[in-house]
Amino acid sequence: MKVLLAMSGGVDSSVAALVLREQGHDVVGITMRLWGGESDTGCCSVSDVDDARRVAQQLDIDHLVFNFSEEFNAHVVDPYVQSHANGTTPNPCIECNRHLKFDKLIERGRALGFEAVATGHHARIEKVDGVARVARGADAAKDQSYVVHMLEGADLDYVMFPVGHMQKSEVRQRATDFGLRTASKPDSQDVCFIGSTIGRKGFLEPRLTFNPAVVVNTNGEKVGEVEAVELVTLGQRRGLGLGGGDIQYAINVDVPGRTVVVGSESELYSPSVSVTTLSWPHSTDAAMVNGQEVLVQGSAHGERFAGRVELNGDSVTISWLRPTRKIAPGQTVVFYDATDSFVVGGGIVTA
């Protein structure tokens, strides 16, 4: 089979190339040039492109570089900045996967006549009653089904995850045994376009006007100040200009009103959450899960919470089976079946 493989320059995509080659596939590796600015974190540095190219040479497969920097800015960086301006908490890695690492990869793969595309994500695609679904990766600690939940329809039959059935330790061992240069390379942990020396504030400051805000308690009494309301996130407890005393959390962030409301941890809990910008693996899934219990995950490796789905047109309300800590607007939640094995939907939390 002719397979187009996304190679980030990390060990997972390197071993994915090795596995595909061993399986007899005709593999072409591609690396996406996404972020055009300075970067010393994530998977967008110049050294990552070089690592991917060198691994492709080791495996004797072709390697190409596709420039998607304009699309990356339009779909990831600009919305990231706008989200802070709007007082929501973005998830840029989800949007990068949605628009670049899958939409553009799949579009390019089909246009070039490839029979499948592949990535090094720790997830699997399994058939359930003959229907393809995203399933959790074999290594629970490295599972990435959350960040690839947006795959749907015919794309589920076109995408391959060659290392999804492997433990991370096995991936590294395979890389070591073959002598791949990425065998001991650390995993990417940070947002790729935010350098470690400048951080989030340093990245946003030249792109966004920061506004000071008052911090008030639930009685409306001023208890502190923050320099930039755009940098405050729901649930935050540090950097709120508060003195000593009981621990307080940001329980509401009003950017237009330049106000942050703080309260106790118990006031962070909510009986439900509203979700929009929905993704369903298949067109029938929305009706299938309506009224049903699902397990909801609110971050890449976060705890799962049980809730009941109520479909409201283009949005969903998840009523928690027990009070659950609020999820910041702008964050992604993914719905799993009752066995916590397969993705049945997902979306973005609304204010």
- Predicted confidence (pLDDT) per residue in 239-286, tens digit: 887 876 788 999 999 999 999 999 999 999 999 999 999 999 999 999
- The domain locations on the chain are 2-120+162-178, 210-263, 269-349
Is residue 349 within 8 A of residue 330, CB to CB? The reply is yes
Convert the pLDDT of each residue in 207-222 to its tens digit: 999 999 999 999 999 9
Averaged pLDDT, 110-130: 96
Strand 131-136 vs strand 222-226: parallel, antiparallel, or unpaired?
Answer: unpaired
Task: Select which of 43, 44, 93, 96 is catalytic.
Answer: 96
The per-residue pLDDT for 128 is 87
pTM above 0.85, yes or no: yes
Query: Angle, to 10 degrees, between the axis of helix 11-22 and the axis of helix 168-178?
Result: 70
Chain CA centroid to CA 313, Å: 25
CATH of span 269-349: 2.40.30.10
Strand 2-6 vs strand 26-33: parallel, antiparallel, or unpaired?
Answer: parallel
Tokens of 247: 């621990």
Instruction: List the beta bridge partners of residue 262.
Output: 250
Tokens 């309300």 belong to: 317
Give the type of residue at 16.
Answer: A
Of 20-34, 40-54, 135-149, the range with the lowest mean pLDDT is: 40-54
Averaged pLDDT, 81-104: 94
Q: Is 96 a catalytic residue?
A: yes
Q: Is 93 a catalytic residue?
A: no
The per-residue pLDDT for 21 is 97
Averaged pLDDT, 181-188: 89
Choose among 327, 339, 337, 199: nearest CA to 272: 327
- Sorting pLDDT into bands at 50, 70 and 90, what band is 225? very high
The per-residue pLDDT for 239 is 86
41-45 LR contacts (CB < 8 Å, sep 24+): 41/188, 41/189, 41/190, 41/191, 41/192, 41/194, 41/195, 41/196, 42/188, 42/189, 42/190, 42/191, 42/192, 42/193, 42/194, 43/8, 43/9, 43/10, 43/188, 43/192, 44/192, 44/193, 45/192
Choose among 310, 303, 346: nearest CA to 325: 303
Report residue 318: phi and psi, to 5°. -100, 115
> What CATH homologous superfamily does 2-120+162-178 map to?
HUPs (3.40.50.620)
CATH of span 210-263: 2.30.30.280
179 pLDDT above the threshold of 60:
yes
Per the prediction, the chain carries an average pLDDT of 93
The per-residue pLDDT for 45 is 64
Higher-confidence residue of 333 and 49: namely 333
The per-residue pLDDT for 42 is 52
Is residue 12 within 8 A of residue 120, CB to CB? The reply is yes
SS (H, E, C) the chain: CEEEEECCCCHHHHHHHHHHHHCCCEEEEEEEECCCCCCCCCCCCHHHHHHHHHHHHHHCCEEEEEECHHHHHHHHHHHHHHHHHHCCCCCHHHHHHHHHHHHHHHHHHHHCCCCEEECCCCEEEEEECCEEEEEECCCHHHCCHHHHCCCCHHHHHCEECCCCCCCHHHHHHHHHHHCCCCCCCCCCCCCCCCCCCCHHHHHHCCCCCCCCEEEECCCCCEEEEECCHHHCCCCCCCCCCCCCCCCCEEEEEECCCCEEEEECHHHHEEEEEEEEEEECCCCCHHHHHCCCEEEEECCCCCCEEEEEEEEECCEEEEEEEEEEECCCCCCEEEEECCCCCEEEEEEEECC
Domains 210-263 and 269-349 share a fold: no
